[in-house]
Chain A
Amino acid sequence: MRHFTLPVSPKTVHWGYFSKSVTPALTLKSGDRATIETLTHHANDDYERMVKDDPGAEAVFRWTKEEKTISRRGAGSIEPPFTFGAGEGLGVHLMTGPVAIEGAEPGDILEVRVLDIRPRPSCSACYAGRCFGSNASANWGFHYHDLIEEPKPREVITIYELDTSGEPIAKPVYNYVWTPQTDPDGITHPTIDYPGVRVDHNLVQHRENIMPGVRIPARLHFGTMGLAPSEAEFVSTIPPNYTGGNIDDWRIGKGVRMYYPVAVEGAFFSVGDPHAAQGDSELSGTAIETSLTGDFEFILHKKDDLEGTILEGLDHPLMENDNQWAVYGFTFPNYLQTLGLEGQSTVAQHSSLDLAMRDAFRKLRRFLMTTRHFSEDEAVSLMSVAADFGVTQVVDANWGVHGTIRKDLFS
Chain B
Amino acid sequence: MPVSRFQSESYSNDQRDLAWREFLDAIGLLEVWSPEILPASLGNYRSGLAHGKMPDLMLARLSATGRELSPIARRGVAPLIVLPLDEAIEIVRGDEGIVVRGRELGLVPTDPGWHIRFGRNSRTVCLTLPEALLLGRRSTNTGLAAPRVFPNESIVSIFAAAIEATAAEMERLHGADWAAVAQQLTDLFFCLPRKAGSDVAQRLAFSGLLGRVAQTIESHLGDNDLNAKTVAQMEGISERYMQRLFKRNGETFSQYLRERRLQRARALLSSPGEPDFSVANVAYDCGFGDAANFNRLFKQRFGQPPGAFRASITEARRESAGGVENRGWPISALGRFQPRATLARPARRLLPAKPSNSTAQPGQTHHLNVGPDTVHWGYFSRSLAPVLSVRPGDHVIVETLTQHATDARELMIKGDPAAEEVFFWDGERKGVDRRGAGPQDASVFGRGAGEGFGVHICTGPIHVEGAEPGDVVEVHIDDMTPRPSRAPGYEGRVFGSTVSAWWGYHYSDLLTAPNPRETVTIYEVHQDDDGSGHAEMLYSYRWKPQTDPFGVTHATYDYPGIPVKSGSVEFEPPPDPPLRVPLRPHFGVIAVAPREANLIDSVPPAYFGGNIDNWRLGKGTSVYLPVSVRGALLSIGDPHAAQGDGELSGTAIECSMTGRVTIRLHKRGTPIADITYPLIETADAWVLTGFSHPDYLAEFGSKGQSEVYAKSSLDLAMRDAFRKARRFLMARFGLTEDQAIAHISAAVDFGVTQVVDGNLGVHAIIPKSLVPGCKE
Shortest distance from the beta carbon of B711 to any chain A beta carbon, whole Å:
12
Q: Do A172 and B719 touch (CB < 8 A)? A: no
Indicate the size class of the contact surface on chain A: 35 or more
Q: Is A387 an interface residue (CB 8 A)?
A: yes
For A388, list chain B residues within 8 Å (CB). 644-646, 751
Q: Do A385 and B643 touch (CB < 8 A)? A: yes
B interface SS class? mixed
For A349, list chain B residues within 8 Å (CB). 172
Shortest distance from the beta carbon of A78 to any chain B beta carbon, whole Å:
26
Q: Is A378 an interface residue (CB 8 A)?
A: yes
Q: Do A409 and B580 touch (CB < 8 A)? A: yes
Q: Do B738 and A401 touch (CB < 8 A)? A: no
Q: Do A354 and B714 touch (CB < 8 A)? A: yes
Q: Is A361 an interface residue (CB 8 A)?
A: yes
Of B70-78, B385-393, B763-771, the stretch lying at the interface with chain A is B763-771
Shortest distance from the beta carbon of B499 to any chain A beta carbon, whole Å:
9
For A352, list chain B residues within 8 Å (CB). 715
Given A286-B745, A383-B648: A281 in contact with B511 (beta carbons within 8 A): no
For B735, list chain A residues within 8 Å (CB). 211
Q: Is A115 an interface residue (CB 8 A)?
A: no
Q: Is B743 an interface residue (CB 8 A)?
A: yes
Q: How far is the CA of A175 from the CA of B498 in the complex (A)?
A: 50
Q: Is A204 an interface residue (CB 8 A)?
A: no
Of A47-55, A63-71, A95-103, A144-152, the stretch lying at the interface with chain B is A144-152
Q: Is A217 an interface residue (CB 8 A)?
A: yes
A interface SS class? mixed
For A277, list chain B residues within 8 Å (CB). 746-747
Report B745-775 CB contacts with A as 1/0, cut-off 8 Å. 1111111100100000010000101111100
- In the complex formed, the residue of A with least CB distance to B647 is A384
For B709, list chain A residues within 8 Å (CB). none
Q: Is A246 an interface residue (CB 8 A)?
A: no
Q: Is A158 an interface residue (CB 8 A)?
A: yes
Q: Do B742 and A135 touch (CB < 8 A)? A: yes
Q: Do B643 and A384 touch (CB < 8 A)? A: yes
Q: Is A142 an interface residue (CB 8 A)?
A: yes
Q: Is B608 an interface residue (CB 8 A)?
A: no
Q: Is B36 an interface residue (CB 8 A)?
A: no
Q: How far is the CA of A216 from the CA of B649 in the complex (A)?
A: 35
| Contact residues of A between 393 and 410, Cβ < 8 Å to B | 394, 401, 403, 406, 408-410
Q: How far is the CA of A383 from the CA of B715 in the complex (A)?
A: 21
User: Which of A143, A281, A354, A384 is the most central at the interface, judged by chain B CB atoms within 10 Å of its CB?
Assistant: A384
- In the complex formed, the residue of A with least CB distance to B714 is A353
Given A137-B745, A361-B505, A409-B580: A146 in contact with B719 (beta carbons within 8 A): yes
Q: Do B581 and A386 touch (CB < 8 A)? A: yes
Given A143-B741, A158-B738, A281-B750: A353 in contact with B718 (beta carbons within 8 A): yes
- In the complex formed, the residue of A with least CB distance to B515 is A376
Q: How far is the CA of A211 from the CA of B484 in the complex (A)?
A: 50
Q: Do A217 and B767 touch (CB < 8 A)? A: yes
Given A142-B718, A281-B718: A385 in contact with B745 (beta carbons within 8 A): no
Q: How far is the CA of A146 from the CA of B19 in the complex (A)?
A: 13
B773's contact among A213, A288, A377, by CB below 8 Å, is which? A213
Q: How far is the CA of A408 from the CA of B528 in the complex (A)?
A: 14
Given A384-B649, A388-B644: A410 in contact with B579 (beta carbons within 8 A): yes
Q: Do B748 and A214 touch (CB < 8 A)? A: no
Q: How far is the CA of A384 from the CA of B579 in the complex (A)?
A: 14
Shortest distance from the beta carbon of A377 to any chain B beta carbon, whole Å:
4
Shortest distance from the beta carbon of A409 to any chain B beta carbon, whole Å:
6
Q: Do A137 and B504 touch (CB < 8 A)? A: no
User: Which of B10, B512, B650, B718 is the most central at the interface, judged by chain A CB atoms within 10 Å of its CB?
Assistant: B718
A141's contact among B5, B575, B653, B741, by CB below 8 Å, is which? B741
Q: Is B723 an interface residue (CB 8 A)?
A: yes
For A170, list chain B residues within 8 Å (CB). 746
Indicate the size class of the contact surface on chain B: 35 or more
Q: Do A216 and B746 touch (CB < 8 A)? A: yes
Q: Do B581 and A390 touch (CB < 8 A)? A: no
For B19, list chain A residues within 8 Å (CB). 148
Q: How far is the CA of A146 from the CA of B519 in the complex (A)?
A: 42
Q: How far is the CA of A361 from the CA of B645 in the complex (A)?
A: 12
Shortest distance from the beta carbon of B220 to any chain A beta carbon, whole Å:
46
Given A213-B772, A283-B722, A385-B581: A380 in contact with B742 (beta carbons within 8 A): no
Q: Do B581 and A391 touch (CB < 8 A)? A: no
For A141, list chain B residues within 8 Å (CB). 741, 745
Q: Is A358 an interface residue (CB 8 A)?
A: yes
Q: Is B366 an interface residue (CB 8 A)?
A: no
Shortest distance from the beta carbon of A343 to any chain B beta carbon, whole Å:
17
Q: Do A214 and B743 touch (CB < 8 A)? A: yes
Given A149-B737, A384-B500, A389-B645: A143 in contact with B722 (beta carbons within 8 A): yes
Q: Is B682 an interface residue (CB 8 A)?
A: no
Shortest distance from the beta carbon of B570 to any chain A beta carbon, whole Å:
13
User: Which of A352, A373, A386 is the most central at the interface, judged by chain B CB atoms within 10 Å of its CB?
Assistant: A386
Q: Do B644 and A387 touch (CB < 8 A)? A: yes
Shortest distance from the beta carbon of B587 to any chain A beta carbon, whole Å:
16
Q: Is B2 an interface residue (CB 8 A)?
A: yes
| Contact residues of A between 277 and 297, Cβ < 8 Å to B | 277-288
Q: Do A175 and B738 touch (CB < 8 A)? A: yes
User: Which of B171, B643, B714, B748 is the most central at the interface, judged by chain A CB atoms within 10 Å of its CB?
Assistant: B714
Report A29-56 CB contacts with B as 1/0, cut-off 8 Å. 0000000000000000000000000000
Report A125-141 CB contacts with B as 1/0, cut-off 8 Å. 00000000001010001
| Contact residues of A between 254 and 294, Cβ < 8 Å to B | 277-288
Q: Do B744 and A172 touch (CB < 8 A)? A: no
Q: How far is the CA of A175 from the CA of B579 in the complex (A)?
A: 50
Shortest distance from the beta carbon of A361 to any chain B beta carbon, whole Å:
6
| Contact residues of A between 185 and 243, Cβ < 8 Å to B | 210-211, 213-217
Shortest distance from the beta carbon of A26 to any chain B beta carbon, whole Å:
32
Q: Do A143 and B751 touch (CB < 8 A)? A: no
Q: How far is the CA of A387 from the CA of B649 in the complex (A)?
A: 11
B745's contact among A215, A285, A386, by CB below 8 Å, is which? A285
Q: Do A278 and B737 touch (CB < 8 A)? A: no
- In the complex formed, the residue of A with least CB distance to B541 is A377
Q: Is B158 an interface residue (CB 8 A)?
A: no
Q: Do B742 and A361 touch (CB < 8 A)? A: no
- In the complex formed, the residue of A with least CB distance to B579 is A409
Q: Do A353 and B579 touch (CB < 8 A)? A: no
Q: Is B123 an interface residue (CB 8 A)?
A: no
| Contact residues of B between 706 and 748, Cβ < 8 Å to A | 713-715, 718-719, 722-723, 726, 735-739, 741-748
Q: Is B521 an interface residue (CB 8 A)?
A: yes
A389's contact among B11, B510, B644, by CB below 8 Å, is which? B644
- In the complex formed, the residue of B with least CB distance to A356 is B714
For B577, list chain A residues within 8 Å (CB). 410
Q: Is A84 an interface residue (CB 8 A)?
A: no
Q: Is A357 an interface residue (CB 8 A)?
A: yes
Which 7 pairs across A and B sit closest by C-beta, in order of nearness?
A384-B649, A284-B745, A280-B749, A388-B645, A389-B646, A353-B714, A281-B750
A/B interface sample: 29 pairs, CB < 8 A: A142-B718, A143-B744, A148-B11, A148-B19, A156-B742, A172-B742, A175-B738, A210-B736, A213-B772, A214-B770, A215-B770, A283-B748, A284-B742, A353-B762, A361-B648, A374-B575, A375-B575, A376-B510, A378-B579, A380-B500, A380-B506, A382-B579, A384-B646, A384-B650, A385-B581, A388-B644, A389-B645, A390-B750, A390-B752
**Supplied contacts A135-B745, A146-B5, 10 more A-B pairs, CB within 8 Å:** A148-B19, A149-B736, A172-B739, A279-B744, A281-B722, A357-B752, A374-B575, A376-B510, A378-B521, A390-B752
B residues at A contact (CB < 8 Å): 2-5, 7, 10-11, 19, 171-172, 498, 500, 504-506, 509-512, 517, 519, 521, 535, 537, 540, 575, 577, 579-582, 642-653, 713-715, 718-719, 722-723, 726, 735-739, 741-752, 755, 762, 767, 769-773
A residues at B contact (CB < 8 Å): 135, 137, 141-143, 145-149, 152-154, 156, 158, 160, 170, 172, 175, 177, 210-211, 213-217, 277-288, 349, 352-354, 357-358, 361-362, 365, 373-378, 380-391, 394, 401, 403, 406, 408-411
